[in-house]
C-alpha cells in the first residue's frame, strides 16, 4: 500500500473513531484524538502487516473500547471471533 493511500486511510479512521469517542464519552475532539493516537489499537492500525484496513471504523472503535476496559484491544469480539 502506498504511503499516500495509507495516510488518507488513517485520516479517515482517525476522524471517524474520534467522532465515536466524542459522541459516546462526551469529551472534546483533541482529547479523543490524543487517547486514540496513544493507544495500542492505533499501533495495531498503523502496522501494515496486520492489514487492519479490512475492519470498519466501528470495529476499530470496539477494539479501542475493549482496550480501555480490559487493557488489551485483542479482547474485542471482532478479533476473538476469528
Compute and round to an integer the Cα radius of gyration of the chain: 12
Residues of the chain whose pLDDT is less than 70? Answer: 1, 81-82
Domain that holds residue 55: 3-80
pLDDT at 4: 80
- For residue 64, what are the CA distances in angstroms to 2, 4, 5, 20, 46? 25, 24, 23, 11, 14
Do 16 and 33 form a contact (C-beta atoms < 8 A)? no
Domain count for the chain, please give it.
1
50, three cell numbers: 496486520
pTM listed for this prediction: 0.89
In 26-72, alpha helices (H): 29-37, 40-45, 57-70
In this prediction, residue 1 carries a pLDDT of 65
Using the Cα atoms of residue 25, residue 47, residue 55 and residue 40 in order, give the sign of their dihedral: negative
Amino acid at each position: 500500500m502506498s504511503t499516500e493511500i495509507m495516510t488518507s486511510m488513517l485520516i479517515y479512521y482517525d476522524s471517524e473513531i474520534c467522532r465515536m469517542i466524542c459522541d459516546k464519552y462526551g469529551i472534546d475532539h483533541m482529547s479523543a484524538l490524543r487517547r486514540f493516537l496513544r493507544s495500542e489499537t492505533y499501533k495495531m492500525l498503523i502496522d501494515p502487516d496486520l492489514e487492519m484496513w479490512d475492519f470498519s471504523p466501528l470495529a476499530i472503535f470496539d477494539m479501542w473500547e475493549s482496550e480501555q476496559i480490559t487493557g488489551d484491544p485483542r479482547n474485542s469480539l471482532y478479533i476473538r471471533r476469528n
